[in-house]
Amino acid sequence: MNRNFRVFLYLLFVLCSCDKTTTQVIELRTENPEKSYFEIINNGDNTAVFSFENNNTGVYNIDKIVLFIKQHYQDMPDAEKVWRFIVEYTKHKDLITENNWLYNPVLLINSAGGGLCGFRSAAMTNILVYMGIKARSWCINGHVVSEVNVNGRWQVYDPDLGVVYYDENDNICNFHQLSNNSRYLTNSLKMMSISSYCDSLSACSKKMAEMYSSRSDNSLFNTFYEQYDNNQQTFFMMPKGSTLIFPLPDNSQKTHFAVAELKIPKAWTGVVKMSLIPYNYSGNAEIEFQNKLMTSDDRNWSESIAASEKFVDEIDIRKNSNGVVLRYYINPYLYRPEKNNSIKLVGEGVECLEISSKIFNLDQQPDWDDLCDENFVSWLHYLALYSELGEFKVECVDDYVAKINWIEKKGAFAKFNIDSKMFYNQLHKESGKYNHENNEFWQQLEDENNFVHSLMIIIKGIEHVAK
């Protein structure tokens, strides 16, 4: 009997056996939820396998996702309910993979916590199709949106920018209307936006109108993913003596992903199977993933995940001298603590699990929410006064620092009450993380939105240090 089949039989037994599956409900109060994370310890003698649900936000399989959407959003069409769910519980994030296994809503929503426009649109479209509603996705020259048939009429919903456009009859525009009449976008008669100010600006920009109107390269976007499985669900697996903590900020400030850390004690070996996307590991161990031995280097893992044509959730710990930490992507918008937490654990071994909340270290302070706030907008408007700023070429960290020096001399720091010494100390700390990046990475900071976004990261870092 091969290893994969043994693991499958074990998990099937754990999750389906009537006499093994138990439920534990824990009431937990967190005084500072925005500064906290969960910690779960397995004090039992056996491996625990379980689902996690907090305050009735359990969306660990497709049926749970649909149930949550229908219960959480009231008095609106199903298309709008799903659209609001994707906008509110996932965010625009960098690529984890270009492969279509991440079009799976269960995986994108529970683990990645978002992605580029195509992945968020695919998740929305696939949920609607599962609900029996006609839906499709369109690619418009660098952007992807969803179109839904509501009462016999097609309507475009943009889950990435969080907008819908209305025509003169107060109907939500369809794809044909938006492709043939740019005034619905650039001079919108009525646009409903439920995302950030920056997304609203992008949604009604001339650039967006050009994307729709360039009809020669508009095409249907294939949202199919090979591993379609209605029974797939997100579960956690904790060996004896292990500790699971989440959500934590990842190692890279440029991505704003969150991770879960599974700390496994020394000497434990075996296969860990969790339906979350692997991120990396640390420790003196021999780890096999996708039939090859892995190093703890972030790039080694990111390249393996990105290249994988199928989602792989098994990590084989073959040697474990001093303990090992496995890290996985996890959605912080679903799995972060709230003020009052009613946590429901269902599975095997949950009666031996101890759960609590912990406070982040100062250097771990996360910022899960969009940085495009009023401060962002103020900076954007202020820098727009200087057309010369667009002439700066940024191809390395020195170019980036030179651009910041220029805006400081123009009075930006004085206007926004920025402490110069603290700013440059934080800048040195942040930029040091990206010294290995190529020109393409730094060239992104020529764009005014990306440049201001980078300033917000540094300013937020100063605020965390000050606290």
pLDDT-derived band at 139 (thresholds 50, 70, 90) equals: very high
What are the residues whose beta carbons fall under 8 Å from the beta carbon of 310, sequence distance 6 or more?
Answer: 99, 101, 226, 227
- pLDDT tens, 119-128? 999 999 999 9
Q: Are residues 245 and 342 in the same domain?
A: yes
Does residue 369 sit within a domain?
Answer: no
User: According to the model, what pLDDT value does residue 19 have?
Assistant: 44
Taking alpha carbons only, the member of 234, 333, 320 closest to residue 281 is 320
Residue at token pair 């199709």? 129
Q: Are residues 322 and 239 in the same domain?
A: yes
Q: How many domains would you assign to the chain?
A: 3
Residue at token pair 């093994």? 20
pLDDT value at 4 more than 60: no
Mean pLDDT, the chain, integer: 88
* 162 contacts 98 by C-beta, under 8 angstroms: no
Whole domain around residue 192: which residue ranges?
62-221
Does residue 282 sit within a domain?
Answer: yes
Does residue 328 sit within a domain?
Answer: yes
pLDDT-derived band at 283 (thresholds 50, 70, 90) equals: very high
- pLDDT tens, 143-198? 999 999 999 999 999 999 999 999 999 999 999 999 999 999 987 678 999 988 77
Does residue 227 sit within a domain?
Answer: no
Q: Calculate mean pLDDT across residues 253-266.
A: 84
Domain edge (last residue) among 364, 393, 418 = 364
User: According to the model, what pLDDT value does residue 228 have?
Assistant: 57
Q: Calculate mean pLDDT across residues 257-280.
A: 96
Q: Calculate mean pLDDT across residues 226-244.
A: 84
pLDDT-derived band at 448 (thresholds 50, 70, 90) equals: confident
Q: Are residues 41 and 74 in the same domain?
A: no
Domain edge (last residue) among 364, 397, 416 = 364
User: Picking from 96-105, 248-257, 414-423, which range would have the lowest pLDDT averaged per residue?
Assistant: 248-257
- Tell me the residue type at 461: G
pLDDT value at 11 more than 90: no
Q: Are residues 213 and 160 in the same domain?
A: yes
Q: Calculate mean pLDDT across residues 309-338.
A: 95
Give whichever of 73-87, 218-232, 294-308 has the largest mean pLDDT.
73-87
> Does residue 407 or residue 372 have the better pLDDT?
407
* 300 contacts 279 by C-beta, under 8 angstroms: no
User: Picking from 37-46, 246-255, 306-315, which range would have the lowest pLDDT averaged per residue?
Assistant: 246-255
pLDDT-derived band at 240 (thresholds 50, 70, 90) equals: very high
* 54 contacts 343 by C-beta, under 8 angstroms: yes
Q: Read out DSSP for 421-446?
A: HHHHHHHHHHHGGGTT--HHHHHGGG
Q: Are residues 169 and 298 in the same domain?
A: no
Does residue 407 sit within a domain?
Answer: yes
Q: Are residues 307 and 435 in the same domain?
A: no
User: According to the model, what pLDDT value does residue 231 have?
Assistant: 65
What are the residues whose beta carbons fall under 8 Å from the beta carbon of 138, sequence distance 6 or more?
Answer: 144, 145, 146, 147, 156, 175, 218, 219, 220, 221
> Does residue 313 or residue 14 have the better pLDDT?
313
Does residue 197 sit within a domain?
Answer: yes
User: According to the model, what pLDDT value does residue 391 have?
Assistant: 86
User: According to the model, what pLDDT value does residue 251 have?
Assistant: 60
Q: Are residues 359 and 389 in the same domain?
A: no
pLDDT-derived band at 17 (thresholds 50, 70, 90) equals: very low
> Does residue 464 or residue 462 have the better pLDDT?
462
User: Picking from 22-36, 342-356, 452-466, which range would have the lowest pLDDT averaged per residue?
Assistant: 452-466
User: According to the model, what pLDDT value does residue 8 have?
Assistant: 46
The whole-angstrom separation of Cα 51 and Cα 290 is: 25
Q: Are residues 284 and 246 in the same domain?
A: yes
Does residue 430 sit within a domain?
Answer: yes
Does residue 202 sit within a domain?
Answer: yes
Q: Are residues 201 and 90 in the same domain?
A: yes
Give whichever of 27-36, 39-48, 377-386, 428-437 has the largest mean pLDDT.
39-48
Q: Are residues 78 and 207 in the same domain?
A: yes
Domain edge (last residue) among 364, 399, 428 = 364
User: Picking from 250-259, 268-277, 288-297, which range would have the lowest pLDDT averaged per residue?
Assistant: 250-259
Q: Are residues 342 and 395 in the same domain?
A: no
User: According to the model, what pLDDT value does residue 12 have?
Assistant: 44
The values of phi and psi at residue 262, to 5°, are -105, 110
Q: Are residues 144 and 105 in the same domain?
A: yes
pLDDT-derived band at 10 (thresholds 50, 70, 90) equals: very low
The whole-angstrom separation of Cα 416 and Cα 307 is: 44
